[in-house]
Amino acid sequence: MTPMNWTCEHIEARLSDYIDGLLSPDERHAFDMHANTCENCSQMVASISHLVSDLHSIEQIETPPRLVYAILNQTLGPRAAKAGWQASFGWLRGLASARFAYYGVSVAATLLILLMASGISLRKPKLADLAPGNVYRNIDGQAHRAYAHTAKFVSDLRVVYEIQSRLNKDNELPTAPESTVPQSSPGKNPGSTDGSKPATPRQQNRANGIGRELEILATEVPVVSGQLCGRLLGRRIP
Amino acid sequence: MAPCNFWGKLVTVAGFEADDTLEQDAQLVQHCLQGDGSAWEELVRRHTRRIFNICYRFTGNGTEAEDLSQDVFLRVYKTLGSYRSAHGGFATWMTSVTRNLLIDHYRRTKRDRITDSLEDAMPVVENKESAGRRPDQQLLLGELSSQVQTALTKLSPELREAVILRDLQQLEYNEIRQALDVPEGTVKSRINRGRIELARILQQMGVRPS
């Protein structure tokens, strides 16, 4: 067989040698020469190459856990149960799994959140903090403080936006989109607040929107939002 | 005889198993033969997954694969004294034992499969076979793996074992030659024919290579 006259039969017979890199340079050259000019052979080479690649990518199947024990029981016979302290602590081996660690971290995080919500100080823990009455009072206090802070924060935001809108009016530099909005709805006055000079509709709507969202947030997660507000405002909770 | 030199030569001759694995297996076998149960336990743990995979890929049935894996280890345990390291690595010897048991099992269950193949000839049953794999098996295998498994069971046992050992177990030609106890030319021919046939079956099933 000379390198230049390989046929389709040669290609099919040496296909795996080609894929597995077992052809000599001359044979590889002859293989390529034919495969590059024959549509059927080039398709076959591509198809088998992809198949081999796919087969190599398939991972091994996990062994059923009972199989090893079944084999050991069949060959060595049933093994004697561990005695003494090894038997007592045998169950601890199951705790050293990734799944258990995940559950443990989840439970710890949940407990931490609950402790923070109930106002128990982790730095200076006191037995009295665990009394039901104290826990209730702490949670109630946290909720009220969170609500108060949120209301204050919203109020501050409204003032800031109103001042900003007045400054914009005074400078007489209205932006084009803002000036178009009131004209399209002259009968309505979405920017008015308490009879003072109205802010621009977009600014007022943003202020109202943020206020509403914060109120909802404060209602749903009083503790988190209370702390957040406290940090944002940089003030101590009274 | 210095064990290191000996195993080094064996690896050069066989050219497929890592030095460490060969040496560790050889030491474990020696300990087993001296009655060390923990050495046998270690051997079982090291090779169970590989043997189970070969059995599963050949039979396509988890329960049969478990039973056959147990049979393989039982036979290996009983005949461990006949293992000669000069003839190849322990893993190759185990593969050879596995292959012989699989072929025995194939011959024993041939009658059942003739009935199955008659049923397979009916198109309705053909669809049922590919779609009827248990959900837990589909999860176990993944889509591609499941399709390949279905196609593998349609190959002749000679081509199937060659493809499993080469492309799923990724053994070298020399290892397969020793495990199947056939000339290397036969191994090459079976692998080549097996791949082409497998691709044809997958194409008929409507599976396109990725």
- Kindly state whether residues A37 and A133 are assigned to the same domain: no
| Residue A131 belongs to some domain of the structure | yes
Q: Cβ–Cβ contacts within 10 Å for residue B131, how many?
A: 8
- pLDDT band with cut points at 50, 70 and 90 for residue A190: very low
Cβ–Cβ of A13/B53 closer than 8 Å? no
Alpha helices in A171-200 (DSSP H): 176-184
Q: Cβ–Cβ contacts within 10 Å for residue B88, how many?
A: 23
pLDDT at B42: 93
| Residue A140 belongs to some domain of the structure | yes
Q: Give yes or no for residue A181 having a pLDDT over 80.
A: no
pLDDT at A184: 46
| Residue A23 belongs to some domain of the structure | yes
pLDDT at A158: 93
Percent of chain B with pLDDT over 70: 76
pLDDT at A91: 57
Burial class (CB in 10 A: 0-12, 13-18, 19+), B68: buried
pLDDT 10s digits, A195-232: 555 555 666 666 666 667 666 666 655 554 455 444 54
| Residue A69 belongs to some domain of the structure | no
- pLDDT band with cut points at 50, 70 and 90 for residue A141: confident
| Residue B26 belongs to some domain of the structure | yes
pLDDT at A130: 76
Q: Give yes or no for residue A27 having a pLDDT over 70.
A: yes
Cβ–Cβ of A48/B195 closer than 8 Å? yes
Q: Give yes or no for residue A146 having a pLDDT over 50.
A: yes
Instruction: Return phi, psi of residue A161, to 5°.
Output: -65, -35
Q: Which domain holds residue A47?
A: 8-52
- pLDDT band with cut points at 50, 70 and 90 for residue B195: very high
The number of distinct structural domains making up chain B is 1
| Residue B130 belongs to some domain of the structure | yes
As given in the structure block, the two tokens for residue A1 are 């067989």
The number of distinct structural domains making up chain A is 2
Average pLDDT in chain B? 81
Instruction: Return phi, psi of residue A113, to 5°.
Output: -65, -45
Q: Would you say B35 and A75 are in contact if contact means Cβ atoms under 8 Å apart?
A: no
Q: What is the mean pLDDT of residues A82-86?
A: 53
Percent of chain B with pLDDT over 90: 60
Q: Token pair 């003739």 is at which residue?
A: B114
DSSP label at A4?
Answer: T
Residue of A9, A36, A70, A31 lying closest to B73 (CA atoms): A70
Q: Give yes or no for residue B106 having a pLDDT over 80.
A: yes
pLDDT 10s digits, A31-66: 999 999 999 999 999 999 999 999 999 988 899 989
pLDDT at A82: 52
pLDDT at A76: 87
| Residue B135 belongs to some domain of the structure | yes
Q: What is the mean pLDDT of residues A114-133?
A: 74
- pLDDT band with cut points at 50, 70 and 90 for residue A191: very low
| Residue A97 belongs to some domain of the structure | no
Cut 0.90: pTM above it = no
- Kindly state whether residues A131 and A222 are assigned to the same domain: yes
Percent of chain A with pLDDT over 70: 61
pLDDT at B10: 39
pLDDT at A89: 59
Contact with chain B for residue A224, Cβ under 8 A = no
Residue of B72, B61, B67 lying closest to B99 (CA atoms): B72
Handedness of CA B29, B172, B154, B182 (dihedral sign): negative
CA angle at A170 for the pair A169 and A172, rounded to the nearest 5° = 65
Higher pLDDT, residue A180 or B37: B37
Q: Which domain holds residue B146?
A: 16-204
- pLDDT band with cut points at 50, 70 and 90 for residue B168: very high
Selecting from B37, B196, B210 the residue whose C-beta is nearest the C-beta of A15 gives B196
Cβ–Cβ of A51/B70 closer than 8 Å? no
| Residue B68 belongs to some domain of the structure | yes
Contacts 24+ apart (CB under 8 A), B71-77: B71/B101, B72/B97, B72/B98, B72/B101, B73/A71, B73/A74, B73/A75, B73/B44, B73/B48, B74/A71, B74/A74, B74/A75, B75/B101, B77/A75, B77/B40
Percent of chain A with pLDDT over 90: 33
Q: Give yes or no for residue B21 having a pLDDT over 90.
A: no
pLDDT at A123: 72
Q: What is the mean pLDDT of residues B47-54?
A: 96
Report the range of poorest mean pLDDT among B66-75, B87-96, B111-120.
B111-120
User: Domain holding B55: CATH number?
Assistant: 1.20.140.160
Q: Would you say B198 and B151 are in contact if contact means Cβ atoms under 8 Å apart?
A: yes
Higher pLDDT, residue B77 or A88: B77
Chain B residues in contact with chain A using a Cβ-Cβ cutoff of 8 Å? 37, 40-41, 44-45, 48-50, 52-53, 56, 62, 66, 69-70, 73-74, 77, 140-142, 144-145, 148, 163, 167-168, 170, 173, 188, 191-192, 195-196, 198-199, 202-203, 209-210
B-chain residues near A57 (CB < 8 A): 144
Average pLDDT in chain A? 75
| Residue A206 belongs to some domain of the structure | yes
pLDDT at B196: 96
| Residue A115 belongs to some domain of the structure | no
Output Rg (C-alpha) for chain B, integer angstroms: 19
DSSP label at A94?
Answer: G
pLDDT at A99: 67
- Distance in angstroms (rounded) separating the CA atoms of residues A81 and A83: 6
Contact with chain B for residue A67, Cβ under 8 A = yes
